[in-house]
Amino acid sequence: MLENLTAQPADKILALMADYKADPRHDKVDLGVGVYKDASGNTPVMRAVKEAERRILADQSTKAYTGLAGDPAFGAAMRDLVLGDTVPAERVAAVATPGGTGAIRQALELIRMAAPGATVWLSNPTWPNHPSIIKYLGMKMAEYTYFDSVTRDVDFDGMLADLRKVAPGDVVLLHGCCHNPTGANLTYDQMSQVIGIMQEKQAIPFIDIAYQGFGDGLHEDAKITRQIARAFDNCLIAASCSKNFGIYRERTGVLMAVAKDADQKALTQQNLAFLNRQNYSFPPDHGARVVTTILNDPNLRADWEAELEETRNGMLTLRQQLADELKRLTNSDRFDFIAHHRGMFSRLGATAQQVETMRDKHGIYMVGDSRINVAGLNAETVPVLAKAIVASGV
């Protein structure tokens, strides 16, 4: 049987991680996978996470199953974090999932059950795992223009023109904040126009929000998701806790489905629990319990928010330092976009050849589309990267 298997395409981001590991150079710089690193290159366990884990270890009296949707307190805490009071709780179905990817996968399966003929529209570019999972599930997909490789900003006219081609019932996947891989984001007003077109076309929004708190702040980063959720009867939201709680390996995420009313919510909740049961039965609990403990304790929450702010401000500083250094070296403002982008990533707009040169000659690892993980930098490596960018002719 197993001889019938054929090799699967490698995930580009994960393949890059392996290449970086295998490189013996001591001065190599890892700007690949989206994992936060502090100035010493560590991915720390956040203070509030440590304390929540200590409390759980001391107080937890059972490891019995929770429920197919996970602990309802986690769903409620995440609904509050992402949606605030935008949509009444009786309209929001929620299930815990293994990470944000688990939430995306469950959302797509839900779409396939509810609207088998729908096309899922993705930004061009998007996180490579989006099209990969859609293809694997045998669903239809299409792309809408998103990035202008000259201005390195959103190609808004192109985006609107493509969204006008969406058919009724199609699903449009939008990044809630901190667009991955480009770092270029829509303004609130631009999103209002996108919403107008989507309403006119009777499209269904599906939001992937994996970096809340990494862009302009916890509340600011939720604004667009809330704006969309408010404007539609139905909306799917896949949220990840990997980055903003720094609990990557705990696989903690949530899928929320905003329903038209309480009856539709109950039906959706039942379907989401069914999907969890089919795919992995009960979702992982530890990370979800850590998140719930933090969000529901005012002191822990304040400490988590403070540390998240330090993280966010650190990335903004690195963005500014890199933009300034490139301004100094090129005597131009053509790299100012790096300071304007938000989140963990920026797409530099380098060619595949230039990306390769930076890797081979300068030991700098970025994804082939020239996405850099800003958090992979520090005060010492910023000038190294800036020099390599200029030397490679970007």
Q: Which of 127, 221, 239, 339 is catalytic?
A: 127
* Selected binder of ligand LMR within 74, 121, 127, 304 (CB under 6 A): 127
CB of 338 to ligand LMR, least distance (A): 18
**Does 13 help bind ligand LMR (rule: CB under 6 A)?**
yes
Closer to ligand LMR by CB, 271 or 311: give it: 311
Contact yes or no for 105/279 (Cβ under 8 A) = yes
**Does 180 help bind ligand LMR (rule: CB under 6 A)?**
yes
CA–CA distance, 385 with 362 (Å, rounded to integer): 8
Closer to ligand LMR by CB, 132 or 330: give it: 132
Closer to ligand LMR by CB, 13 or 93: give it: 13
Sign for the pseudo-dihedral over CA of 260, 208, 46, 311: negative
Contact yes or no for 269/256 (Cβ under 8 A) = no
Question: Known catalytic residue: 243?
Answer: yes
CB of 252 to ligand LMR, least distance (A): 14
**Does 194 help bind ligand LMR (rule: CB under 6 A)?**
no
CA–CA distance, 6 with 221 (Å, rounded to integer): 41
Question: Known catalytic residue: 127?
Answer: yes
Closer to ligand LMR by CB, 293 or 370: give it: 370
Closer to ligand LMR by CB, 33 or 197: give it: 33
Closest CA to 186 of 164, 215, 213: 215
**Does 33 help bind ligand LMR (rule: CB under 6 A)?**
yes
The partner residues of 94 in beta bridges, in order of sequence, read 256
CB of 118 to ligand LMR, least distance (A): 25
CB of 180 to ligand LMR, least distance (A): 5
Q: For residue 370, is it left (φ>0), alpha (ψ between -120 and 50) or beta?
A: left
Contact yes or no for 172/203 (Cβ under 8 A) = yes
CB of 345 to ligand LMR, least distance (A): 7
Closer to ligand LMR by CB, 163 or 238: give it: 238
Q: By beta-carbon distance, which residue lies closest to ligand LMR?
A: 34
Question: Known catalytic residue: 210?
Answer: yes
* Selected binder of ligand LMR within 34, 183, 283, 287 (CB under 6 A): 34
Phi, psi of 293 (to 5 degrees): -60, -45
59 CB burial (10 A radius; 0-12, 13-18, 19+): exposed
Q: Compute the C-alpha angle 96/97/100, nearest 5°.
A: 120
Q: Which of 48, 118, 121, 243 is catalytic?
A: 243
153 CB burial (10 A radius; 0-12, 13-18, 19+): middle
CA–CA distance, 112 with 134 (Å, rounded to integer): 10
CA–CA distance, 366 with 16 (Å, rounded to integer): 8
Q: Compute the C-alpha angle 321/327/331, nearest 5°.
A: 160
CB of 183 to ligand LMR, least distance (A): 12
CA–CA distance, 284 with 343 (Å, rounded to integer): 27
CB of 181 to ligand LMR, least distance (A): 7
CA–CA distance, 191 with 166 (Å, rounded to integer): 16
How many residues of this chain interact with ligand LMR, rule: CB under 6 A?
5
Q: Which of 48, 93, 184, 210 is catalytic?
A: 210
Closer to ligand LMR by CB, 127 or 245: give it: 127
Catalytic residue set? 127, 208, 210, 243
Q: Which residues bind ligand LMR (CB under 6 A)?
A: 13, 33-34, 127, 180
